[in-house]
Amino acid sequence: MALVSATRRVARLGRVWLRRTLPGTAGFENSRRLSKWLLLGTTIGCVAGLGSVFFYGAIQVATHALLSGISGYQPPGPAGEGAAVVTPIGHRLLLPLVTAIGGLVSGLIVLFLAPEAEGHGTDAAIEAIHRKGGEIRARVVPVKLIASAITIGSGGSAGREGPAAHISAGFASLLGRKVLSSPEDRRIAVAAGIGAGIGAIFRAPLGGAVLAAEILYLHDLEVEAIIPSLIASIVGYTIFGGWFGFEPIFGQHASLSLGAPVQLVYYAVLGVLCGVGGLLYARAFYRVAAWFDRSRLPRWTRPAVGGLAVGLLGLAMPQVIHTGYGWVQVVMTRDGVLAFSPLLLAAIAAGKIAATSLSIGSGGSGGIFGPGMVIGGFVGALLWRVAFGHVPGLPAEPAPFVIIGMMALFGGIAHAPLAVMLMVAEMTGTLSLLAPAMIAVAASTAMVGDETIYRAQLRDRASSPLHRIRFSLPMLAALRVRDAMEPISVSAAESDAVRDVLHRLQAMSSAGALVRDRDGQPIGTVTRDALERMPEADGQSPVSLVVSPVTLHPDQTLEDAMQELAQEGAGVAVVMQQDRPAGIVTSRTILRAYRSARERQDPRGPRWPPDPGSAR
């Protein structure tokens, strides 16, 4: 208990210091705000980089112990992580057993320790940003790391970006709860964690940072998250690269370029094919997930069943198990892709869709970003293989088609075209293909429409619960808590009876009271409304049962204050200045301050919001 108390005290002191030193300011480019995010972004980036190092190492250990150690199969790796050496499966009949055991163990860990760690992770992080104020349970971090490493290391078809994003987003959520008072800042911290984790594990800091802002919406950007994500992503990338090297995952392809104008037509066709492939990927994934949800199989057995099916599929096509990045490296060369028939390349792309749907849709843990790029790479290889020797102006090597296929398929279905283009460019060491990639990604996005692989995405910021206040009451961002603060007229001890405090509030015509603990320290506020709603039988209960812990700083914006009150379901908050209560703020005083500011700006304008009068 002493340790918990000390931890809470340190967190409280850190929060007070942060508010006092770097108060909230309007505009995400403000120098004080940048200073704050330089500190917080660096902290998030350090954890993202170290978390990615541990996660990557855990995947290697699990792969060596399970897939290689038992079935005798070592998947080929991309150029930046070793040579793409293709080896046969040593003990073929053991492969389905390994994938089934991996799914079983992963499923049990997730089910009994943190059920929200199930699946690919990115959707859960997006959901936390939009619906939960950036709230992710701390235990998700180690559970996601271990479960995903076992899923991938046993041969499950999954990517490592989703878990990496979930791990760093989980820490960012914990950090936000401890030191950030603004719901908006906590959301941005979690978004920065997503970008830092993905940017580090893929060695693509710019793409990861832009992804954090782009992946939250179908048709919008979280612009406030870009700079914090850039800081966190660069730090995470530096730490991960310092451990494993800075070589792009798929090696350097700087010599690639657009060879002839006619190639733009081919890339447009590739974009259409990738759009169709993205739709098939998303629909298959969620249909398989829905089938497992409807099935009568015990929940803990579903990942094992999915793993068994993936292992059987891997016997026919080993390219569909594990991450598959090494096989993308293989088909980037002419000799590599010519070793496959067009029919086999199409089968591998379809098989990767099925294997990922079975591995993750059954309840396993891992990402869907990486498999999406692998599928797109094989769609590009398929088109080059079919066109080779038959159409004029075709690139001499399949690498441009493979790279742009990776960009187009997942960039379209994830509604993150800019981020995915930048990320794949960083992963392949070339920016020279961005022009044809724009054609392909535009065609893919047009084919996809409003369908998405991330179901937690919202249409735009106007659809976000925490952005609605900003759009409906824009002046709140220019007003401060001190503009709506009123003196404290009623104070109560945490042990005071509900009935007594209510009588005092009614006598003073006050909307709320400050509540103190036995040491005289403020612990929150209680509203007259909340006390009046309590049953008569609870009149002698201590007022501490209905205390709201929301605290604000005089320099916070009323936008932040309104969001925090809405998130906590509170109607009143105490304003702290220099560790002392300076006043209280209620929804009524906030609306009055807003109305007064509107009248000062335009005395002839409509009186909105209407005078709240005696509303509490």
Residue 53 within any structural domain of the chain: yes
The reported pLDDT for the residue numbered 606 is 44
Same domain, 518 and 402: no
Going by C-beta distance under 8 Å and a sequence separation of 6 or more, which residues neighbour residue 10?
A: none
Same domain, 128 and 90: yes
pLDDT, tens only, 231-267: 999 999 999 999 999 999 998 887 888 888 899 999 9
pLDDT, tens only, 93-129: 899 999 999 999 998 998 888 777 676 677 888 888 8
* Sheet with strand 512-516: strands edge to edge: 491-493, 512-516, 522-527
d(CA 22, CA 16): 10
Residue 576 within any structural domain of the chain: yes
Same domain, 456 and 580: no
pLDDT, tens only, 375-386: 999 999 999 999
**CA 59 to mean position of chain CA atoms:** 21
* Residue 336 pLDDT grade (very low, low, confident, very high; cuts 50, 70, 90): very high
Q: Residue 63 gets which letter from DSSP?
A: I
pLDDT, tens only, 140-157: 888 888 999 999 999 999
Write out the residue range of the structural domain in which residue 530 sits. 473-601
The count of domains in the chain is 3
Same domain, 8 and 102: yes
Average pLDDT on 29-37 reads: 68
The reported pLDDT for the residue numbered 312 is 96
Average pLDDT on 317-344 reads: 94
Same domain, 299 and 238: no
Residue 105 within any structural domain of the chain: yes
pLDDT, tens only, 285-300: 999 999 998 988 888 8
Residue 281 within any structural domain of the chain: yes
Q: Is 0.85 topped by the overall pTM?
A: no
Which CATH number characterizes residue 555's domain? Answer: 3.10.580.10
303/492: higher pLDDT: 303
Residues forming beta bridges with residue 348, ordered by sequence position: none
Residues forming beta bridges with residue 31, ordered by sequence position: none
The reported pLDDT for the residue numbered 473 is 58
Residue 340 within any structural domain of the chain: yes
Residue 89 within any structural domain of the chain: yes
Taking only Cα atoms into account, the Rg of the chain, rounded to an integer number of angstroms, comes to: 27
Asked if pLDDT for residue 309 goes beyond 80, the answer is yes
Asked if pLDDT for residue 193 goes beyond 90, the answer is yes
Same domain, 321 and 442: yes
* Residue 498 pLDDT grade (very low, low, confident, very high; cuts 50, 70, 90): confident
d(CA 344, CA 410): 21
Asked if pLDDT for residue 306 goes beyond 80, the answer is yes
Residue 490 within any structural domain of the chain: yes
Q: Which residue type does 373 have?
A: M
Which of 144-153, 323-332, 348-357, 480-489 has the weakest average pLDDT?
A: 480-489
Same domain, 239 and 320: no
The reported pLDDT for the residue numbered 442 is 95
Residue 153 within any structural domain of the chain: yes
Same domain, 322 and 177: no
Same domain, 428 and 354: yes
Same domain, 10 and 61: yes
The reported pLDDT for the residue numbered 30 is 53
Same domain, 455 and 478: no
Which CATH number characterizes residue 56's domain? Answer: 1.10.3080.10
Same domain, 240 and 335: no
